[in-house]
Structure 1
Amino acid sequence: MSLTLIRRPPGLQFGGVDVRQLADRAGHTPFFAYDRSAIDARIRELRRLLPSGMHLHYSIKANPMPAVVHYLAGRVDGFDVASAQEMAIALDAGTTPAAIGFAGPGKSHDDLRRAVASGVNVHVESETQLRLVTALGWELGVQPSVAIRVNPDFQVGQSGMRMGGGAAPFGVDVGQVPALLRELEAREVALAGFHIFWGSQCLHAATVIEAQRQSVELVLRLASGLTGPPRFVNLGGGFGIPYFAGETPLDVKAVCEAMHDWLPRLGERLPGIVPILELGRYLVGEAGIYVCRVIDQKVSRGKTFVITDGGLHHHLAASGNFGQVLRRNFPVVIGNRPDGVTRERCHVVGCLCTPLDRLADDIELPEAHIGDFVVVRQSGAYGRSASPLHFLSHPEPVEMLV
């Protein structure tokens, strides 16, 4: 009697591992997985293209998973944080305080006390923050490292989110910076640097190039009256990744080539200053997936709904509720049968009691069965940590670095 082996079709490979094996490792769905080889490839590409002397920082807000931060600690030049907890993660990864920048419009007294005591660079965003930081320095007997985050006097188009250029809670308006510089001098605190963050999620190279050039001109203007150059200037990042059909990846080569034009002038005018490129989603966004399992499938008034054990409580961005003006689908596949022949149009929804809980709308996928894995790509940034995990008290997703 001969046995006939039934071969399962190959599943989606991620980090060299079949998605079904990833699910076994996770122990249950839903889960996030992050591919260290994809992170390495992105950093290698940037190091090859960036001018020498340009420092690369990781913005922890994009993905604060400690294993990801620890992995990046030996591969980037520093971190930028937006809370005391993110600061603790960066310090725990072995990063020196001088390589950490702490930004954010709403730093509490405790946040600032911990930052001053730790010796990280505090990017002040108001006169109140400046006075509190310098007072804490006197109280703790340390010289605080203070940078000024500047709300630029220019705006850029074609970026996913503008972070400056108009009335904003972020940074200090350009016109108010000279007064803060005088107050720093009066309080006998040296300026560590400037931080200019103009926007994020930009896929248009010409926009990034122009924003960086204007940022450099602004820094040169602000620093013209200083007795000595600041130690660093954080020029933000803004590099986007394609999420939706029809989007074209950012031409990073063109952006980096333009840096070779303006970087020498910055160094000539401000000798010894360290330029910093701060990137978050560009380093990790495409290196992550979110995986949930099909638990039901039904037809309602002619429309097919694929119901999963995941949803917006784990991945708010994929649901279209993370600041998107128009709801569009992230790249979604059936992980265990990505090449299934029988296909259907369907809505992929989560398990929550709200019509907002949709992972994909009116999408064509291989016909889904109960037990199948739904995989959402481009999920390495602003996934788990940017989502309302406790909504309806469902279990939290696992995270893995593979």
Structure 2
Amino acid sequence: MSGEGESLNASAARFGSDDNQLLVGGHTLGDLAARVGQTPFYAYDRRLITQRVAELRDAIPASLHLHYAIKANPMPAVVQLLSGLTDGLDVASAAEMQVALDTGIAPELISFAGPGKTDTELAAAVAAGVIVNMESEGEMRRLAAIGDRQGRRPVVSIRVNPAFELKTSGMKMGGGPKPFGVDEERVPRMLAELAALDLDFRGFHIFGGSQNLRVEAIVESQRSTLELATRLAAHSPVPMRWLNIGGGLGIPYFPGEKPLDLAPIADNLSDLCERAARELPEATLVMELGRYLVAEAGIYVSEVVDRKESRGEVFLVTNGGLHHHLAASGNFGQVIRKNYPVCLGNRLVSPDTERVTVVGPLCTPLDILADKVTLPRAESGDLVVIFQSGAYGYSASPHLFLSHPVPAQVLV
């Protein structure tokens, strides 16, 4: 294994090992690769996903509903699994909505967000009966017209762009000018217009940011979210029945990052649920999580096809790369490139180790999966594993770049 520290050791221990190989879903990596029938591939461990949801359920208040944000990993088998473990699904496209509906959960447990929904997507959402998180006044008017044409009453909420942001987030989704949601100061006027339209208004979706590892920032944002929702509810033409407070819970990817301590977050959520029961008595509170539920349960596996030396450095060239795993290459939002935890999955430990850079087959110097990491000495046919790959991996990568084959995906 790479000697990059605690993040790698924790990642490998999470999956377990047998015969000096990584175990995934109870299978050694070599056996799993043979079963998949190709490399590269993504593998997601259902035990780890189930365990993560159970740990979260044990921590948070029972009255707080837990939703899965499909955009983190829209593989149908993963969505099907999580539809049975959570209280609802959140989608960001018509295709994701269809995957959610295919699970068989009730449409009113599905919410649809996204700043550029087309009339075709809106019409499909109205026909299905899912909650549409309206991102603008114009989208509200289009929904009302679509409902009139269909003879249906669209089920809607307003996605609010708060004045505050989720501090220290990896990706900020609220605060300042944003393409997402309706600025909080515009919402009262929007609610006044909504009152004259034939829309089934449920409440608000307020989401400040994602991938946050600071407990204090998450707690502060959740408190601000409830306070804002309570203020805006005073302008609603009907009692609020739904409040999605977003998520933002991060996972550790890089050396020095620590897993979130759920205890203070859960304590704060208990307080917020009690306050909401008094101030918004008809509202169901929803926490929407994606990455936190699936990222650490997934790996990306590529095969070494060549080993080469160049001016004193060793390169392992694999059949996978940034076209399959853009985030691990450092080209998905990183300012300074850092390595995801990586190991040689078919030979976890060996006395014969070396410093190597793992690269892909693409004709670009950006195609790096791991830069100067310590691994057991590898040869062609060995299997390189990138951990923390269960979210924003397969579906967030440019598979068509240079026309190489796409990876497989399995849930085991």
Which bin holds the TM-score, normalised by the shorter protein? over 0.9
- Asked if 1:117 corresponds to 2:124, the answer is no
TM-score by length of 2: 0.94
Q: How far is 1:324 from its partner?
A: 1.2
Q: How far is 1:249 from its partner?
A: 0.5
Off by >4 Å, runs of 4+ in structure 1: none
* Distance across 2 between alignment mates of 1:227 and 1:144: 16
**Residue in structure 1 matched with residue 255 of structure 2 by the alignment:** 245
- Asked if 1:307 corresponds to 2:317, the answer is yes
Q: How far is 1:171 from its partner?
A: 0.5
Paired amino acid for 1:382: Y
Q: After superposition, where does 1:312-331 map in structure 2 within 5 Å?
A: 312-331=322-341
* Distance across 2 between alignment mates of 1:355 and 1:136: 49
**Residue in structure 2 matched with residue 158 of structure 1 by the alignment:** 168
Unmatched 5+ stretches in structure 1: 1-7
Paired amino acid for 1:57: H
Tell me if structure 1 keeps the 8 A contact 2:340–2:388. yes
Q: Write the deviation string for residues 177-196 of structure 1: whole angstroms up to 9, x where unpaired.
A: 11110111011323211000
**Residue in structure 2 matched with residue 178 of structure 1 by the alignment:** 188
Q: Write the deviation string for residues 220-274 of structure 1: whole angstroms up to 9, x where unpaired.
A: 0000133432221000000101011110001112101111112111111111210
Q: Write the deviation string for residues 13-37 of structure 1: whole angstroms up to 9, x where unpaired.
A: 1222100011011101000000000
**Residue in structure 1 matched with residue 92 of structure 2 by the alignment:** 82
- Asked if 1:72 corresponds to 2:72, the answer is no
**Residue in structure 2 matched with residue 39 of structure 1 by the alignment:** 49
Q: Write the deviation string for residues 73-126 of structure 1: whole angstroms up to 9, x where unpaired.
A: 111100000000000000001111100000001111111111111110000111
* Distance across 2 between alignment mates of 1:188 and 1:66: 34
TM-score by length of 1: 0.97
Tell me if structure 2 keeps the 8 A contact 1:146–1:191. yes
Q: How far is 1:314 from its partner?
A: 0.6
Tell me if structure 1 keeps the 8 A contact 2:192–2:237. no
Q: How far is 1:301 from its partner?
A: 1.2
**Residue in structure 2 matched with residue 207 of structure 1 by the alignment:** 217
- Asked if 1:277 corresponds to 2:287, the answer is yes
Q: Which of 397, 404, 407 in structure 2 is aligned with 1:397? A: 407
Secondary structure of the residue that 2:373 maps to in structure 1?
strand
Tell me if structure 2 keeps the 8 A contact 1:204–1:251. no
Task: Report how many aligned residue pairs link the two structures.
Answer: 395
**Residue in structure 1 matched with residue 115 of structure 2 by the alignment:** 105
Q: Write the deviation string for residues 163-215 of structure 1: whole angstroms up to 9, x where unpaired.
A: 00111101100111111101110113232110001000001111110000000
* Distance across 1 between alignment mates of 2:60 and 2:373: 38
* Distance across 2 between alignment mates of 1:398 and 1:188: 45
* Distance across 2 between alignment mates of 1:273 and 1:371: 55
Q: Which of 369, 374, 379 in structure 2 is aligned with 1:359? A: 369
Tell me if structure 2 keeps the 8 A contact 1:184–1:190. no
Q: Which of 299, 302, 316 in structure 2 is aligned with 1:292? A: 302
Is 225-234 or 95-104 further displaced after alignment? 225-234
Tell me if structure 1 keeps the 8 A contact 2:298–2:387. yes
**Residue in structure 2 matched with residue 259 of structure 1 by the alignment:** 269
* Distance across 1 between alignment mates of 2:150 and 2:331: 43
* Distance across 1 between alignment mates of 2:263 and 2:379: 43
Tell me if structure 1 keeps the 8 A contact 2:29–2:346. yes
* Distance across 1 between alignment mates of 2:76 and 2:127: 22
Tell me if structure 1 keeps the 8 A contact 2:315–2:358. yes
**Residue in structure 2 matched with residue 187 of structure 1 by the alignment:** 197
Query: Aligned residues: percent identity?
Result: 55
* Distance across 2 between alignment mates of 1:221 and 1:17: 52
* Distance across 1 between alignment mates of 2:267 and 2:31: 42
Tell me if structure 2 keeps the 8 A contact 1:68–1:401. yes
- Asked if 1:48 corresponds to 2:78, the answer is no
- Asked if 1:231 corresponds to 2:254, the answer is no
**Residue in structure 2 matched with residue 349 of structure 1 by the alignment:** 359
Q: CA RMSD in A?
A: 1.0
- Asked if 1:127 corresponds to 2:137, the answer is yes
Paired amino acid for 1:260: S
Tell me if structure 2 keeps the 8 A contact 1:352–1:392. yes
Unmatched 5+ stretches in structure 2: 1-17
